[in-house]
Amino acid sequence: MEVVSSPDLFQVWRSRYEEEKKTATLELTFFQREKGDRFRKIEEVHQHRAIPPEEVTESLREAGFRLEGAYACFTQEPPLADTYRTVYVARRAIQVGK
C-alpha cells in the first residue's frame, strides 16, 4: 500500500498481483479538496494483464508494426526484469499501393 498526502489531495494506492492469472489489480482511493474543509472521495480500480515482451513484439509484427523501442514507463531507460510497466513504441510499416 502507498499513501501520498498533500493539503489538497490524499491518495491511497493498493495493489496485488495474481501470478497464476498474470493479472495486477490497482485500487485507488482519493480525497480531493473541493471547498474549505470539504473533500470529494474518488475510487478507481485498474486491472492490468501481464504480457511477456516476446508476445507483445510478435503481436506488433503480425499486425504490421515495426518496434522502434521499449522503455520502462515514464523514463527513456530500457526495461529491466523487474520493470512494472513497459511502454512500447512502434511504427506501422508503410504498405505501397494501399
Please give the grid coordinates belonging to residue 73: 514507463
Instruction: Say how many domains are in the chain.
Output: 2
| Residue 97 pLDDT > 80 | no
Domain of residue 29 covers 2-49
- Three-state DSSP at 53 gives helix
Q: Is residue 97 part of a domain?
A: no
Please give the grid coordinates belonging to residue 19: 501470478
Residues 17 and 33 reside in one and the same domain: yes
| Structural contact between residues 3 and 11, judged by C-beta atoms closer than 8 angstroms | yes
Please give the grid coordinates belonging to residue 28: 485507488
pTM: 0.61
Q: What would the mean pLDDT of 7-32 be, rounded to a whole number?
A: 94
| Residue 90 pLDDT > 70 | yes
Residues 6 and 45 reside in one and the same domain: yes
| Residue 96 pLDDT > 70 | no
Q: Is residue 33 part of a domain?
A: yes
Residues 27 and 58 reside in one and the same domain: no
